[in-house]
Structure 1
Amino acid sequence: MDNTQKRIMADENHVQHMFLHVESTDVVCILNIAGHPYRLRELIFMMIENGCQIVQTTAEQFNTFSFDKETVEVHDFLTSIIKAKFL
């Protein structure tokens, strides 16, 4: 890990933002997530351990993702901000 990455990980207030396409046996969704990199890694790890397949995607795919269930928004200052569109 280089010095920039070390500084980012040590900064409690650093926020990383990403879009994830997530599939499990019973749901397909795209997540718009933001939070500290350690917390996002923890969240992604938990999803993988629970059998989800995850691929990083783009804002364009999030905005054009066809969904038939409600959009869910979760604000959790310890983990992240998550906005999910479910298929």
Structure 2
Amino acid sequence: MSEQNVMTDVNHVQHMFLHVESSDMECVINIAGHPYRLRELIFMMVENGCRVKKTSADAFNTFLFDKETVEVHDFLTSIIKAKFVG
């Protein structure tokens, strides 16, 4: 499917893992949603001073963290699952 078709398909879901760092936290998130919504989410994180890089499922599963895993389900971004480190 071409990128243009993917972006216009309102039912298309993209899935990715991101490693996110800011001055006071570090996390790996597992997100899924429409590509436009994911781009918007990443842009908001960068605008708020976070460093964001794409990572893998292995990095998510082996990420050492000392707080609970957080799950957020909202209408536009189907699933966000984050593992935080102090």
Task: Place the TM-score, normalised by the shorter chain, in its bin.
Answer: over 0.9
Which ranges of structure 2 fall in alignment gaps of 5 or more residues? none
| 1:44 paired to 2:36 | no
- Runs of 4+ aligned structure 1 residues displaced above 2 Å come to none
Question: TM-score, normalising length from structure 2?
Answer: 0.95
Aligned residue runs from structure 1 range 22-61, under 5 A? 22-61=20-59
Question: TM-score, normalising length from structure 1?
Answer: 0.94
Aligned residue runs from structure 1 range 9-24, under 5 A? 9-24=7-22
Instruction: Give the aligned residue type for 2:56.
Output: T
Deviations 1:23-78 (A, max 9, x none): 00000000000000000000000000000000100000000001000000000121
Instruction: Name the Cα RMSD after superposition.
Output: 1.0
Partner of 1:81: 79
Which ranges of structure 1 fall in alignment gaps of 5 or more residues? none
Partner of 1:4: 2
